[in-house]
A and B are shown apart, each in its own frame.
Chain A
């Protein structure tokens, strides 16, 4: 692909036999299980500002729900310093692993390759799983279980966010025009599936998406309350005059490797279309209602109201196909991964038209539905019986259990039934090896090689301390492939920190003289 992207996944946490898990304590402790040694805070929070909006302003406060405000008040009494609570770790693979709003979050390093991203995302699952095993041993209470899902079925949602670097010059209206119809409808193949509805009528039905019912506005900078279909947080972690970081919060966390690749790949191609000002002519009458209706539609017709003469109903598959057709026309043959995405996208849409159940083993929502339906048949469970519904939700939860010996997704995978895109060896390697050719490599390898000299770190800056002096490396420009290659080469060749900093200085100076600095 021709774009930097990454995934951030917040995990759910519970302990067998414990009715009320202290998620603040457990999330913090789980992350610390990654290390054998003491926690040393390195993350540089000064460069973060989630209140800045892409539309050119900054809000005074972010909206949190009332529940969250009560929790924040209570947590103040714990007297745990902020950096201790966050427990931010940076892993040699370039990822950030930390406590985000009481959820262990694994944020992959920046990737250029789609299958590389899948391996990094799965490596995050493995890291979380190992930490859960260590925490289980430490606690001696019950098994610590970690879930890669997005809800507790009681109205508390947490995210799996996607990040895509894109051209700052693209007008925001065009971004909205492209993303609203695409995001409202892409859940037909990348939804994770959910038993039940958590808001309003609490209907006992199966939904395509875990997250769809939590979105209330078209665009805003918020992420926890009144969630927007298009999040406008403006933290590019790159040169802000040239780039935006599209921070996508509408997606579900996926277990399926295939869906993770298709979700990110198709979205990256749609961003390519937006940048090229080449979009299908669909404007949804109400994107938020469309998203919720598609998730709840038991007929699988997924009709969406689009603007136009006398408003008309269009199947979500047709809207997705319009994006696919343009992407194929513009980008087919560009590179292998692009062709894979075009082929996978086409295949999935064809099966959704014919019979969605042909996607058992491929798409999460379909596979989970198949499992739940079989189980209901076996056990004579009824959707309108609240106790039965809880059991079904428990199965839903277990589908996303990252323990490969007990999770339902992994039981299917061990039987060879889930489509695989990366090997277990690649995933194991990705637990400590950063993605190639990006600044994630520079971040991860810098820590591995000169970690004892790193005094702070963030996505776009590393500060080394050397002989009592600080040397800050600004990585904002390391989104350019050629430039990052120079930096990574210098890092690979240096044997000492002095040699590394001197060589880096030379590279920075020569790039500046060449007009690239």
Chain B
């Protein structure tokens, strides 16, 4: 058996989001400090999604 898998790609650090373990913030969990995502990138990526991807996607019943 492998000695666990090492992730084979560089990861990009992201800004910390809401409180995690150890955070005793007094308010509710906060959203990351980004007002709205860059919709140009998102829309560009979404346009590249094959319109028939879901039509072809057929699985068997699982649990």
Q: Which residues on A are within 8 Å of B, measured CB to CB?
A: 10, 12-14, 19-21, 23, 34-37, 64-65, 67-68, 71, 89, 91-93, 100-103, 113, 115, 126-127, 130, 133, 147, 151-154, 156-159, 161, 223-225, 249, 258, 336-337, 339-340, 343-344, 346-348, 350, 361-362, 371, 374-375, 378-379, 387, 390-391, 393-398, 404-406, 408, 411-422, 424, 428, 431-433, 447-448, 451
Interface centre among B33, B38, B45, B60 (most CB of A within 10 A): B60
**Partner pick for A340 among B4, B7, B23, B58, CB 8 A cutoff:** B23
Q: A161-B63, A361-B31, A397-B57 are in contact. Are A420 and B7 (CB under 8 A)?
A: no
* Contact (Cβ within 8 A) B62 A371: no
**Partner pick for A371 among B27, B29, B46, CB 8 A cutoff:** B46
Q: How far apart are B39's CB and chain A's nearest CB, in angstroms?
A: 6
Count chain B residues whose beta carbon lies closer than 8 angstroms to a beta carbon of A: 57
Q: Which residues on B are within 8 Å of A, measured CB to CB?
A: 1-9, 11-25, 27-34, 36-39, 41-43, 45-47, 49-63
* Contact (Cβ within 8 A) B28 A101: no
- Chain B interface mostly helix, strand, loop or mixed? loop
* Closest 8 A/B residue pairs (Cβ): A432-B4, A347-B28, A158-B62, A393-B54, A394-B53, A419-B17, A420-B17, A391-B51
Question: Once the chains are docked, how many angstroms separate the CA of A159 from the CA of B58?
Answer: 15
- Chain A interface mostly helix, strand, loop or mixed? mixed
Q: A336-B22, A428-B7 are in contact. Are A416 and B60 (CB under 8 A)?
A: no
**Partner pick for A103 among B16, B42, B62, CB 8 A cutoff:** B62
Q: A68-B61, A101-B62, A417-B32 are in contact. Are A379 and B47 (CB under 8 A)?
A: yes
Please give me the residue from chain A that is nearest to B13 by CB atom.
A424
* Contact (Cβ within 8 A) B54 A408: no
Known: A157-B62, A340-B20, A416-B17. 19 other contacts (CB 8 A): A101-B60, A102-B59, A102-B62, A115-B20, A153-B54, A154-B58, A156-B59, A158-B59, A159-B62, A347-B29, A371-B46, A374-B43, A390-B51, A394-B50, A415-B34, A416-B33, A417-B36, A419-B29, A419-B31
